[in-house]
Amino acid sequence: MRSALQALLIGLFLLGLVAGCAHPLVGPASAEVAQSNLARDMNPNVPAQDLRELVQGNSAFAFDLYQALREQESGNFFYSPFSISIALAMTWAGARGKTEQEM
């Protein structure tokens, strides 16, 4: 029984290996490059107060998240509050309606 199970598992592994190396049945989807004719503002004029609020908000978020994670972890842990903040900012930029308001 054990050798039959081992043979079955090895067979499934080899089948997966062969299937993964096979040529795709369909070709890649054609992709269009999104372009804009608008000039990019490389030096936006952002008021100093807005920058202060951004820094304070990101710092508060980082410390609050650290406190929440620290309570759940018993050993060492590492996280990047900047990466999480950027990911949420990109999500917010694409959100509309109620989701945008709640974020």
Whole-number Cα distances in Å, 72 to 25, 38, 62, 65: 46, 47, 16, 11
- 12, pLDDT greater than 80: no
Q: pLDDT tens for residues 20-74?
A: 666 666 666 677 888 889 998 899 899 999 999 999 999 999 999 888 888 887 7
| Highest mean pLDDT (candidates 9-13, 29-33, 74-78, 97-101) | 97-101
Distance CA 80, CA 62 (A): 8
Q: pLDDT tens for residues 85-100?
A: 899 999 999 999 999 8
For the chain, the domains span 47-103
Closest CA to 59 of 81, 89, 90: 81
pTM flag (> 0.85)? no
